[in-house]
């Protein structure tokens, strides 16, 4: 299951010395995400994500994070077409921020804006948006990117805390999805957790009140409801294979 770097290949710090003439064209080609079957999502995009994706919990390197499931097999994203178009209604912020990312400095207190220079949209021909103007100053586009990533990073850390709270209440259990292929062979998707309904019902009134006050109770019910989206993924997989 995913980690925070995923499809990033050649990440370097953004600088006017190195990227004075660099332009970036985004939002047209999502081929870079075609081989990921899940992606982290932040808490404030859960309500949009659950309308089409199963939303689950994934543990990685000791932390817990919400993830949207995008495919039923390894290296399979059912929402990216052969032409690189995203066919889902909602594109997770983790995808939208690419090719940019924050890297934690050695002091682990400050972040540096980085870019994946392997991204197909990076160019010197002026396609898309420039990062720096003729005077070497940050363009409005780059300022918007910085602001987006600052908000995203804060929300990412908050979501980890939220997911950890749910784990600390002992509500999570390992889950597995089983389906049959066209050849009637079993196919399994595992490596994620879901909230156990019985354990949720056994929480004390005080614990439930705390979850409600923190806005987590609604998130939990949205997560549980999103499990129904696995059937849509199965159907989408059939459509993709038929083509």
Distance between CA atoms of residues 24 and 195, nearest Å: 40
Distance between CA atoms of residues 135 and 162, nearest Å: 43
If you average pLDDT over residues 41-52, what whole number do you get? 97
If you average pLDDT over residues 130-149, what whole number do you get? 97
CA 15 from centroid of its chain's CA atoms: 26
Helix (H, G, I), strand (E, B) or coil at 174: strand
The predicted pLDDT at position 2 comes to 34
Among 32-36, 80-84, 181-185, 204-208, the range scoring the smallest mean pLDDT is 181-185
What would the two tokens of residue 134 be?
């003729």
Query: What b/e sequence results for 27-48 when a residue is b if at least 16 CB atoms lie within 10 Å of its CB, and e otherwise?
Result: eebbebbbebbbbbbbbebbeb
Is the per-residue pLDDT at 48 higher than 90? yes
Helical pair 140-168 and 216-226, crossing angle rounded to 10 deg: 90
The predicted pLDDT at position 3 comes to 36
The predicted pLDDT at position 185 comes to 75
Distance between CA atoms of residues 83 and 81, nearest Å: 5
Helical pair 216-226 and 205-213, crossing angle rounded to 10 deg: 90
If you average pLDDT over residues 135-148, what whole number do you get? 97
Between 24 and 5, the more confident residue is: 24
Distance between CA atoms of residues 113 and 11, nearest Å: 10
Residue with tokens 């994500």: 49
């Amino acid at each position: 299951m995913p980690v925070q770097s995923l499809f990033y290949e050649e990440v370097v710090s953004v600088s006017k010395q190195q990227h004075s003439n660099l332009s970036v064209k985004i939002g047209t080609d999502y081929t870079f995400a075609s081989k990921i079957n899940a992606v982290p999502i932040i808490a404030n995009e859960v309500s949009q994500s659950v309308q089409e994706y199963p939303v689950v919990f994934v543990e990685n390197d000791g932390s817990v994070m919400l993830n949207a499931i995008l495919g039923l097999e390894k290296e399979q994203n059912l929402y990216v077409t052969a032409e690189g178009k995203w066919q889902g209604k909602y594109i997770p912020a983790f995808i939208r921020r690419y090719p940019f990312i924050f890297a934690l400095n050695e002091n682990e207190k400050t972040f540096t804006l980085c870019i994946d220079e392997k991204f197909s949209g990076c160019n010197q021909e002026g396609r898309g948006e420039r990062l720096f103007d003729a005077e070497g100053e940050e363009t409005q586009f780059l300022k918007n990117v910085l602001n987006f990533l600052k908000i995203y990073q804060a929300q990412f850390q908050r979501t980890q805390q939220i997911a950890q709270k749910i784990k600390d209440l002992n509500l999570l259990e390992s889950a597995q999805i089983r389906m049959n292929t066209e050849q009637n062979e079993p196919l399994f998707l595992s490596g994620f957790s879901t909230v156990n309904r019985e354990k949720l019902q056994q929480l004390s009134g005080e614990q439930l009140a705390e979850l409600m006050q923190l806005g987590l109770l609604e998130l939990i019910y949205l997560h549980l409801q999103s499990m129904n989206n696995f059937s849509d993924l199965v159907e989408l997989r059939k459509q993709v294979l038929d083509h």
